[in-house]
Structure 1
């Protein structure tokens, strides 16, 4: 056996970047490289711009010395860099450390985890909630626990990838209904009439289009066919509805949704983390059997404290929700007037539909040159032929920020022949 000092000497003599390549790996790498070239040729290769500042309305990007107006973050309330939120994270880091080095049921639960779960349950007016490392994990951990082969799950065809993956893990009978199509959903409910449980699954707000699930009609069908309703509220929690309680509040349906999954990584601080809110029996069972919960480290204390502070801020004022709404209307009205096609339904996700992937990517680059940070979205994130620039509005944007951005869109749009 080599001692630590011997290994240190051996590795120090290896050339920088040295990696052992087997002949099989060489073949695989060639296949992968060809696939990457195909992605680039199609104009759908996704480059990551490196931000060298905090997440805010103005950001700095590596290689660009000028500040950029940020219009593509999920920082809907502008609170990810709020001084009180930052301080809460710092205080938690000093008191509780960087992390728990463990899963929750072993030695990874602190008092602040329980306090945040209680705040989330109160916010959504539910009996209890459970924290996950992300909402992707919350979606991955729910359906397998809740549903058996005797049950049925009915999912909107445009639900988020994490919902789709979570449903794949369960053994229930699976039905996919057409996007927001209530008639098709009812037909599927009739097909699974003999199921022990029926669960209707939908995003509250669909992230690529900014459109809203027809929740009143879904709830009516759920009542008629004795089904439960699940909504993913990642793009609604904190800012959608009068007090930011999401899609059910937006439709005045408070308390009618059986299960809510959402995130801490967007409006509620923007760091990480997700959760499920629902009945105490459901949450207790998830603590016993949900694999992403049982086998993932507890959320780091600074993340927990930051999200907890955001909920405190939201409990004391509704100004943020009002700002998001007024900014959204201002942007949408000016862009439509200029001749752009804007998808969605009065939501701060404002997709500028362009169609061609290369056009979307090229336009985003030109807008960057004008000091506007946006990203082109293309396949497989959105369907082929539906490429877009997804503009996202924040409470922290000012009317002048929005006007400057719209003016840049108009200038580039005319230059590229997108609008007249």
Structure 2
């Protein structure tokens, strides 16, 4: 029978405790979630500043009606791109429907020409997001991986490279480990080896920096900066910040941008409002910082093996997928909502509970989590 591989693949996933399921959520906030009529403390949200809990009044139309290169690029898009350029210090910006789309399409567009690909090399951190790796695998450039946050290994890779065009790709904050890339050192390496730097700052935006602008507050300015709106901004979409010449190139060769309907004007208006809130959310950032410190200190006192992280992402690695699922179910029974992250999202034998803290959590919430977590693991 044709397509028997579908059943075989699903059975294999189930046998390995790797089968994924969706959960239909009822009410949800940065602090609480309702699933199947039951309420839980929510420690699985990327709404780090609790900005999604507020309602908005909108005037923009819901649909853009066409691609940005036909009639889809409207004044609301232009205004938001200008705001982003002014805030981050870039010449140009392009809006995308999602961070995944932005990451994959930019890398593919840059290295889509086989002739360019033959003289180009991509250097990617081994823990980079799937969207960054997919972009590389679907490009014509050579892909070289370097050990996670390992400057010495990256330097060795760069020194061996004969490529004319070199692009280093990393994340500002890594989505599964919660640690930060050594961007100052990477940027210096890039300069030394005449390479460009691309940073996916999805989980740093809103959380890092005095004004929530993420990794650029460390003083670096990568040639390509990708920010996404679905995490701390608590809305939808993404932007690529770059030079004028790169923007012009992407307008010609980014298939995702050329052939997709432009981002909804209504979603863009929401993003403008949320970006303004994010920049002024100093109190929420302070509360989040305190919550992170309280969590890490108390976890250490209780002997809970949390990976080293100073961000809102606090992973507890449990090894096997079975162990992670069992801990998830035990925590659920205690009124805590967490997600077991399993391969292939993380490496083999690195299944984990990915805890995310927000500004909406209280010290009592964190105590409840940690006491239940100690029992579960």
1:133 and 2:97 equivalent? Answer: yes
So what's the TM-score if we normalise by structure 1?
A: 0.84
CA offsets 1:233-283 (integer angstroms, 9 cap, x no match): 11111112222111232xx224x32210121111112x3211101112212
**How far apart, CA to CA, are the structure 2 residues paired with 1:261 and 1:319?**
25
1:50 aligns with 24
2:44 aligns with 72
**How far apart, CA to CA, are the structure 2 residues paired with 1:387 and 1:202?**
22
2:237 aligns with 273
1:393 aligns with 357
Cα contact 1:342–1:351 (8 A) shared by 2: yes
**How far apart, CA to CA, are the structure 1 residues paired with 2:280 and 2:153?**
42
TM-fit CA distance, 1:407: 2.2
1:82 aligns with 54
Cα contact 2:206–2:279 (8 A) shared by 1: no
1:195 aligns with 163
SS at match of 2:252: helix
Superposed, 1:2-41 pairs within 5 Å as 23-24=1-2, 28=3, 30-41=4-15
1:153 and 2:119 equivalent? Answer: no
2:184 aligns with 216
Cα contact 2:318–2:351 (8 A) shared by 1: yes
1:170 aligns with 139
**How far apart, CA to CA, are the structure 1 residues paired with 2:92 and 2:309?**
31
CA offsets 1:364-389 (integer angstroms, 9 cap, x no match): 11211211110111111111111110
1:15 aligns with none
Q: Structure 1: give runs of 5+ residues left out of the alignment.
A: 1-22
TM-fit CA distance, 1:224: 1.4
Larger-Rg structure: 1
Q: 2:194 aligns with which of 194, 213, 226?
A: 226
SS at match of 2:326: helix
**How far apart, CA to CA, are the structure 2 residues paired with 1:258 and 1:322?**
30
TM-fit CA distance, 1:163: 0.4
Considering only aligned residues, what root-mean-square deviation do their CA atoms show, in Å? 1.7
Q: Structure 2: give runs of 5+ residues left out of the alignment.
A: none
Cα contact 2:232–2:278 (8 A) shared by 1: no
Cα contact 2:165–2:195 (8 A) shared by 1: yes
SS at match of 1:205: coil
Superposed, 1:319-330 pairs within 5 Å as 319-330=283-294
**How far apart, CA to CA, are the structure 2 residues paired with 1:50 and 1:290?**
34
Q: 1:184 aligns with which of 142, 145, 153?
A: 153
1:383 and 2:347 equivalent? Answer: yes
TM-fit CA distance, 1:32: 1.9
Superposed, 1:293-372 pairs within 5 Å as 293-372=257-336
So what's the TM-score if we normalise by structure 2?
A: 0.94
**How far apart, CA to CA, are the structure 1 residues paired with 2:300 and 2:326?**
21
1:406 and 2:370 equivalent? Answer: yes
**How far apart, CA to CA, are the structure 1 residues paired with 2:91 and 2:286?**
28
**How far apart, CA to CA, are the structure 2 residues paired with 1:344 and 1:210?**
8
TM-fit CA distance, 1:293: 0.6
2:228 aligns with 263
Cα contact 1:177–1:188 (8 A) shared by 2: yes
Cα contact 1:199–1:228 (8 A) shared by 2: yes
TM-fit CA distance, 1:56: 3.3
**How far apart, CA to CA, are the structure 2 residues paired with 1:399 and 1:118?**
39
Between the two proteins, the alignment pairs up a number of residues equal to 372
CA offsets 1:296-333 (integer angstroms, 9 cap, x no match): 11112232122111111133342222122111111121
SS at match of 1:236: coil
Superposed, 1:81-120 pairs within 5 Å as 81-83=53-55, 86-87=56-57, 91-92=58-59, 95-96=60-61, 98-120=62-84
**How far apart, CA to CA, are the structure 2 residues paired with 1:52 and 1:314?**
26
User: Residues 320 and 197 from structure 1, CA distance in 2 versus in 1: closer, same or farther, beyond 3 angstroms?
Assistant: same
TM-fit CA distance, 1:229: 1.0
SS at match of 2:211: coil
**How far apart, CA to CA, are the structure 2 residues paired with 1:344 and 1:277?**
30
1:239 aligns with 207
